[in-house]
A and B are shown apart, each in its own frame.
Chain A
Amino acid sequence: MNTDDSLEALLQSGFRYACSLTHQHAEAEDLVQEAWLKLARSKPQERHQSWNKSLFFVTLRNLYIDRYRRNRLVVLEPLDELSTRVELHDGPGNEQEIAMDVEWLERSLSILRVEEREAIYLHLVEGYTAAEVAELTERSRNTVLSLIQRGRKKLVNALSQDDAALAENKRYHSSTLRQSE
């Protein structure tokens, strides 16, 4: 793999992480662009270190927090303080039965809090352990585990609601067909 290939892989990886934060393509691209330029301007003696994934992720995250704190759009708070606010339903979700298509994931991920989406992305997609995610996001490991757990439950609940709606829809179509016959 030559340098350009590895840099491109880094860019794409950073972009996916930015997507997990923003959940919007254009916004994620802006974030990546800004972080990329920031690293490109680093001192020569630090420049060779600039193009590593962890630093890129941290830069992206810090820029995201700065940007959204400034705009007061998102306030990142530890989950522990919010745990009582979040109403979760431990539905009968069976993840094996989940028909995960892109649209469903798109919709389901949008209902997650940024912290949950970020933790799920880093853990399930990037493969970081909870401890590593905790260090990267400057949270406690327990908080990260809670974020992942709650995020996953939300996804399952979203599916169960979709399944219920789908079943209802099927019943409706079946009855309509019988009546027509």
Chain B
Amino acid sequence: MTLPWQKTNATIHLHSDKASDAMNTPDSDKLGASLKEYYQRKSLSADSVERMLAQADSLKPTASLTMPWFRRPIAGLAWVASLLVVVVMAQFFYYQQSYQGDLTALVLKEIAMNHNKKLDAEYVETRPEILRVAMQRLDFPLNLPVDIQRDFQLVGGRYCSIQGGLAAQLKVRNRASGAVSTLYVTELTEKLTRIKEQHVLQGSVDIHLWQQQGRFFGLATDAALVGRDDSHSRK
């Protein structure tokens, strides 16, 4: 609705409501003319006008009301916060990955080193259940996976450690080739669960790592002997 006084300059006429005002005498016309002349003399300086016009041009509408939501200051903070979260998560996963890589490398190195020592078995026993009784410090069973039992003959065992955890270092002989391999068995700790099944050549040692029945296994064989149809190490 347009208010009565909302009219343009063009429609404004002095004393336009003469009938109703009843005070528009020639005297008041003269007073009005004088006042008009007085106020017409009052004006903003050219500099002030220029400055204000420039401000009107340069001033953008209030940010919070006109900017798209994703460009408002609070949204900007949210963007920064989200970015930080992403960066932190990326760093975390990168660290996890590299830690996992480091852990696998450490385990492989440990297994290869123990295998290369070619230490004799402290407990000579071909039956896993009997060996388990002999190695009473172990807190996990020594029953071997079916495919290992099928392909290898247990020779004996001794204590060792993998990443600080007590492990059994079993000497096994390949039933087909007669090559002696070292089978490492330890309890599957949370740390070791991060190591995925893999087949790696660590120096001159062929190593197969896997998890089975709540235990962690590592089978190390001299790489030179693997070529002789060692089916298990080529899984």
The chain A residues found within 8 Å of chain B, CB to CB, are: 4, 7-9, 11-13, 15-16, 19-20, 25, 28-29, 32-33, 36-37, 39-44, 47, 52-54, 94-96, 98, 100, 102, 105-106, 109, 120-121, 123-133, 135-136, 145, 148-149, 152, 155
B44 to A, closest residue via Cβ: A15
Which among B4, B32, B59 is the interface contact of A132 at CB below 8 angstroms?
B4
Name the contact of B27 in the complex, choosing from A39, A54, A95 (C-beta under 8 A).
A95
Size bracket, chain B contacts: 35 or more
Please tell me if the beta carbons of B16 and A129 are within 8 angstroms of each other in the complex. yes
Expressed in whole angstroms, the Cα–Cα distance for A44 and B65 within the complex equals: 9
In the complex, the answer to whether A102 meets B41 with C-beta atoms within 8 Å is yes
Question: Looking at A8, A124, A128, which has the most chain B CB atoms within 10 Å of its CB?
Answer: A124
Q: Which residues of chain B have C-beta atoms less than 8 A from A126's C-beta?
A: 12
Known: A120-B35, A136-B3, A136-B5. 20 other contacts (CB 8 A): A20-B39, A28-B42, A29-B48, A36-B55, A43-B62, A52-B6, A53-B9, A54-B3, A54-B5, A95-B25, A96-B26, A96-B27, A98-B31, A124-B35, A125-B32, A129-B15, A132-B4, A132-B5, A135-B4, A148-B23
Q: How far is the CA of A47 from the CA of B62 in the complex (A)?
A: 11
A136 to B76, CA, bound (A): 42
23 A-B contacts (beta carbon < 8 Å): A8-B49, A11-B49, A11-B52, A12-B44, A15-B42, A29-B44, A36-B56, A41-B59, A41-B61, A47-B61, A53-B9, A54-B3, A95-B31, A124-B14, A125-B32, A125-B35, A126-B12, A129-B20, A129-B21, A130-B21, A133-B5, A145-B21, A155-B31
Minimal beta-carbon separation of A59 from chain B (angstroms): 13
A44 to B8 alpha-carbon distance, docked (Å): 22
Inter-chain contact A96/B23, CB cutoff 8 Å: no
Name the residue among A37, A52, A109, A123 with the largest chain B CB count within 10 angstroms.
A123
The interface residues of chain A lying within 8 Å CB-to-CB of B13 are 127
Once A12-B43, A25-B42, A148-B23 are accepted as A-B contacts, the answer to whether A124 and B31 lie under 8 Å apart by CB is yes
Residue A105 contacts which of B35, B48, B66 (CB distance < 8 angstroms)?
B35
Cβ contacts under 8 Å, B39 to chain A: 16, 19-20, 121, 125
Interface residues of B in 26-67 (CB under 8 A from A): 26-28, 30-32, 34-36, 38-44, 48-49, 52-53, 55-56, 59, 61-62, 65-66
**How far, in whole Å, are A32 and B43 apart by their CA atoms in the complex?**
11
B190 at interface (Cβ–Cβ under 8 A)? no
Residues on A with C-beta less than 8 A from B38 are 100, 102, 105-106, 109
Q: How far is the CB of B21 from chain A (nearest CB, A)?
A: 5
| Interface residue? B147 (CB, 8 A) | no
Chain B neighbourhood of A36, CB < 8 A:
52, 55-56
| A121 lies within 8 A of B20 (CB) | no
How far in angstroms is the closest Cβ of chain A from B1? 11
Residues of A within 8 A of B14 (CB): 124, 127
* From B4, B15, B20, B30, residue with most partner A Cβ within 10 Å: B4
B78-117 contact mask (Cβ, 8 Å, vs A): 1 or 0:
0000000000000000000000000000000000000000
Q: Given contacts A7-B56, A11-B44, are A44 and B66 in contact (CB under 8 A)?
A: yes
10 A-B pairs with the lowest CB-CB distances in the bound complex, closest first: A129-B17, A95-B27, A124-B32, A132-B5, A100-B34, A54-B6, A127-B14, A40-B59, A40-B56, A105-B38
Q: Evaluate contact between B62 and A41: CB separation under 8 angstroms.
A: yes
